Chains A and B, each alone.
Chain A
Amino acid sequence: MILSVCVGSSCHLKGSYDVIETFKRLIAERGLADKIELRACFCLNRCSDGVAVKADGNYILGVNGANAEQKFDDEILPLLG
């Protein structure tokens, strides 16, 4: 799975850095490096609902440093199938 985190201006202000760091940690802790490729990207055109994250074709919106782990467990991991 390609997991992209938006690092455009408004997502950055809403905490892209924390989201990326949390995802990096979770991927390492759970040994998912061969299943998930973490990327940054510029603008997913969901500026109002940042931080915007895209897991393959699926948008996961309203992510931030505080809920990143929960979003990862509830919305991203199930997509791995």
Chain B
Amino acid sequence: MSYFIERGYTSLNHVGEELCGDRVEYAVNGDVLTAVLCDGMGSGVKANILATLSSKILCTMLSAGIPIKDCIETLIASLPVCKVRNVAYATFSVFLINNEGKGDLIEFDNPAAILIRNGEVSDLDREKSVILGKNVYTTKLNLQAGDAVIVTSDGVEHAGIGMMMNFGWERPQIKEYLKRVVKPTMSARAISAALAGECNELYMYEPGDDTTVLGIKVREHAVTSVFVGPPIHKEDDAQYVADFMAIPGKKAVCGGTSSQIVARQLGKEVSAAVDFPDKDIPPIGYIDGIDLTTEGVVTIRRVLELSENYLNPADTDAATLNKRDGATLLAKMLFEDSTDVHFFVGQSQNHAHDGLPIETRMKLKLVDKLADNLKKMGKIVTVRYN
């Protein structure tokens, strides 16, 4: 069984710092995803440099199949030594996981990973080994569809120390929180945002430590096809719509003319809602057999904005997406619910749009950028032009 390994993270900076001292890196090599969370000692620039170096070195070397001992050796030899503390130090948690959900989790000095499976929250079986004098813990991963594994920097456990709580947020409470809040439909990004957001509240929005949550989730592939814009040649409509409908999975149609073309080819009618959940976004429409019908460029532009927020690791609300306007509905469908997205982009021009910020070239650019952002989220994306 080939799964989609979803990844997502959320990071809070130490209050007053522009740079985060935690760092997440990803690499994909064949069917193996490498995901690394490093926490550099201290905060600000120094911590950021330590975390950046460590995560990049570990991610690159492990992804290339180099043994962990050699990676740690390189790490120790490379890290600059802190003048104050006279040590070079960054912690790490690394996933090496293939698309069957199998692989390794390697941990050094970060809080132990947490497994979320079927609504239950538990620890993983870790095996300790001493590598170059360091206690490194390895877990053999054998994950099933729906499983999520969460790793964090210690900023999570320190949340609220001396403010909301005497001893910070302790592990049983963190697990209790995850058990209560995580829903089966939530993406890795949404889970990480929920946990980091809760930490931010405990810190009363002034984190005393860099705080990062990285999640990995094993998912069945969920495909969505998006029809944007009519094809240049009218006589291609039938074939184009047939190809669009032939792809299994969910369907979204964006644009007034596009929705009419799809409806005509399917022998259905388009209707439109008359309410505006957001006055800047045109109402959604309905076509029998299509999961979501929206207006075109104005909606896509907002979806692109939402995708920028989704990719901003400091944004703890970006994955919530519970508004009912067309852009938010489409964003949720693409970011949260889909693993694979296929765009059908028609390049026909509507001359009534000339000179307005909705003309075809603009639309193509927006779709390109959106496709790029979906790839940055780790999704499998194709774009077909007609």
A interacts with B: yes
Q: Which residues of A contact B (CB under 8 A)?
A: 6-10, 12-13, 16-17, 20, 38-43, 47-48, 50
Q: Is the CB of B295 within 8 A of A8?
A: yes
Contacts of A40 in B (CB 8 A): 272-274, 282-283
Q: Which segment of B21-29, B313-321, B349-357 sits at the interface?
A: B349-357
Q: Is the CB of B298 within 8 A of A20?
A: no
Q: Is the CB of B256 within 8 A of A8?
A: yes
| B99 contacts chain A at the CB level, 8 A cutoff | no
Q: Is the CB of B352 within 8 A of A48?
A: yes
A43 to B283, CA, bound (A): 12
Q: Is the CB of B274 within 8 A of A9?
A: no
| B270 contacts chain A at the CB level, 8 A cutoff | yes
Interface string of B348-371 (1 = CB under 8 A from A): 001111001110000000000000
Q: Is the CB of A7 within 8 A of B272?
A: yes
Q: Is the CB of B274 within 8 A of A42?
A: no
Query: In angstroms, how far is the closest chain A Cβ from the Cβ of B141?
Result: 47
| B384 contacts chain A at the CB level, 8 A cutoff | no
Q: Is the CB of A12 within 8 A of B272?
A: no
Contacts of A48 in B (CB 8 A): 351-352
A13 to B353, CA, bound (A): 10
Contacts of B276 in A (CB 8 A): 17, 20
Contacts of B283 in A (CB 8 A): 7, 40
Q: Is the CB of B274 within 8 A of A43?
A: no
Query: In angstroms, how far is the closest chain B Cβ from the Cβ of A59?
Result: 14
Name the contact of A9 in the complex, choosing from B256, B271, B272, B279 (C-beta under 8 A): B256
A75 to B358, CA, bound (A): 30
Closest B residue to A37 by CB, please name it.
B274
Closest A residue to B358 by CB, please name it.
A9
Residue from the set A9, A17, A43 with the largest chain B CB neighbour count within 10 Å: A9
Query: In angstroms, how far is the closest chain B Cβ from the Cβ of A23?
Result: 10
Count, chain B residues at interface, CB 8 A: 27
A48 to B350, CA, bound (A): 10
Query: In angstroms, how far is the closest chain A Cβ from the Cβ of B184?
Result: 34
A38 to B352, CA, bound (A): 25
Residue from the set B255, B272, B285, B358 with the largest chain A CB neighbour count within 10 Å: B272
7 more CB-based (< 8 A) A-B contacts, given A8-B282, A9-B297: A9-B282, A13-B298, A13-B356, A40-B274, A41-B270, A43-B259, A47-B350
Name the contact of A10 in the complex, choosing from B259, B273, B274, B356 (C-beta under 8 A): B356
Q: Is the CB of B274 within 8 A of A39?
A: yes
A50 to B358, CA, bound (A): 14
Contacts of B293 in A (CB 8 A): 42
| 12 A-B residue pairs with CB within 8 Å | A7-B272, A7-B283, A8-B255, A9-B295, A9-B296, A9-B358, A13-B298, A13-B358, A17-B279, A38-B274, A40-B282, A42-B293
A73 to B14, CA, bound (A): 61
Residue from the set A6, A7, A20, A38 with the largest chain B CB neighbour count within 10 Å: A7
Q: Given that A9-B256, A9-B298 are contacting pairs, would A42 and B285 also be in contact in the complex, using a CB cutoff of 8 Å?
A: yes
Contacts of B255 in A (CB 8 A): 8-9, 42
Contacts of A9 in B (CB 8 A): 255-256, 282, 295-298, 353, 356, 358
Query: In angstroms, how far is the closest chain B Cβ from the Cβ of A57?
Result: 17
Name the contact of A7 in the complex, choosing from B282, B297, B350 (C-beta under 8 A): B282
Residue from the set A12, A13, A47, A48 with the largest chain B CB neighbour count within 10 Å: A12
Closest A residue to B354 by CB, please name it.
A48
Contacts of A42 in B (CB 8 A): 255-256, 259-260, 270, 272, 285, 293, 295
